[in-house]
Amino acid sequence: MTIKLPVRVSIQDGREEVMRTENLSVFGVCLVSTFAMKEGERLTITLSQGPGGLKQEVSARVVWRKSIQGTNRAIYGLELEKSD
């Protein structure tokens, strides 16, 4: 489903970036980033329900990466990890 939402992504080396999802499902998310993430890399996605709204953190893993030719950006497919 095409859902474009702003999300904050934190990667293992401590960098953070606000990105926009390209699509979102129960199992995963697709987004575009300038980060150079590798397949298998783990990260944290923070979803916010509007200004001052509830924030939810979800762990994810990079499943695939496709460079966007002529830019420093790539499209990433992330698998959302189950929370206990």
Domain count, the chain: 1
pTM of the model: 0.83
| Bridge partners for 33 per DSSP | 74
Domain at 63, CATH number? 2.40.10.220
Is the confidence at residue 1, as pLDDT, over 80? Answer: no
Let me know the angle formed at the C-alpha of 66 by 83 and 76, rounded to the nearest 5 degrees.
20
**Gyration radius from the chain CA atoms:** 12
pLDDT of 37 > 70? The answer is yes
Q: What is the pLDDT of residues 18-34, one digit of tens each?
A: 988 898 888 999 999 99
The residue that leads in pLDDT, 12 or 69, is 69
Give yes or no for a contact between 8 and 25, defined as CB atoms under 8 angstroms apart: no
What is the sign of the dihedral through the CA atoms of 41, 82, 64 and 46? negative
pLDDT at 50: 66
Asked, for residue 65, whether it belongs to a domain, the answer is: yes
pLDDT level of residue 4 (50, 70, 90 thresholds): confident
Stretch 54-83: mean pLDDT, rounded?
92
Q: Is residue 1 part of a domain?
A: no
Which residue segment(s) compose the domain that 15 sits in? 6-80
